[in-house]
A and B are shown apart, each in its own frame.
Chain A
Amino acid sequence: DAKTTQPPSMDCAEGRAANLPCNHSTISGNEYVYWYRQIHSQGPQYIIHGLKNNETNEMASLIITEDRKSSTLILPHATLRDTAVYYCIVNRDLKTSYDKVIFGPGTSLSVIP
């Protein structure tokens, strides 16, 4: 079973920041928070991941609470192309663990013109 909970859907106005929350209260000390998104009829796309520090890349920012029980993915300036299902996943380091990745239902983000 997925170890995260996310709201099923969210709307965001184009050009505004999209803040997608994720709860992972049972996360273990060696588990990372990974975010992927899936645009309709495509394979999932990696966005960002982190362990405990906040992370930023060209796509998004990841804010992880100090107790690591929740996190927020931030798309700073949402565009229509960001409309997708966003999946928050907790897993050991995928670089070394070869763990199977279980997907929850995710959050369906609709960016509105």
Chain B
Amino acid sequence: GAVVSQHPSWVICKSGTSVKIECRSLDFQATTMFWYRQFPKQSLMLMATSNEGSKATYEQGVEKDKFLINHASLTLSTLTVTSAHPEDSSFYICSASDSSNTGELFFGEGSRLTVL
């Protein structure tokens, strides 16, 4: 089946640094990808919709200048957490729809960010 891969799967960084997380659709093209954040014992919270070749659409309350999203190709979207702080520590998950196949929404394995 279609696969969505995230990298890195986990990252630890110092407060004030920036971290980039990649989301790739490995065997299909995805014009739209989605980024979620999940805190412990909570559900997934949608952060933004990533659109290939255009600006991302952010959900209410999500700072677009802090969470930079770039969708430069049909198989790659990146999320950059800028000037990370401990409260940004979370599990970040991306998803993409394989519209050419069954229409299932596939999710990456997730990236766990810990900001010290």
Interface residues of A: mostly helix, strand, loop or mixed?
Answer: loop
Q: How far is the CA of A85 from the CA of B44 in the complex (A)?
A: 11
* Shortest beta-carbon distance from A34 to chain B in Å: 8
Chain A contacts of B78 at CB under 8 A?
Answer: none
Interface string of A39-53 (1 = CB under 8 A from B): 001111110010000
Complex: A87 Cα to B95 Cα, angstroms: 15
Known: A41-B91, A100-B34. A46 touches B104 (CB 8 A): yes
Across the interface, do A100 and B44 meet the contact criterion of CB distance under 8 Å?
Answer: no
Alpha-carbon distance between A28 and B109 when the two chains are bound, in angstroms: 31
Please measure, in the bound complex, the distance between the C-alpha atom of A43 and the C-alpha atom of B23, giving whole angstroms: 12
Interface size (A, Cβ < 8 Å)?
Answer: 24
Contact partners of B36 in chain A: CB under 8 A? 103
Q: Is A104 an interface residue (CB 8 A)?
A: yes
- Bound Cα distance A34, B95 (Å): 15
Q: How far is the CB of A104 from the nearest CB of chain B, in Å? A: 6
How close is B64's CB to chain A, nearest CB, in angstroms? 16
Q: Would you call B73 an interface residue if the criterion is a C-beta within 8 Å of the partner chain's C-beta atoms?
A: no
- The answer to whether A101 touches B43 (Cβ under 8 A) is no
Q: Complex formed: what's the CA distance from A19 to B34 in Å? A: 30
Interface residues of B (CB under 8 A from A): 4, 6, 31-32, 34, 36, 42-46, 49, 91, 93, 95, 97, 99, 102-110, 112
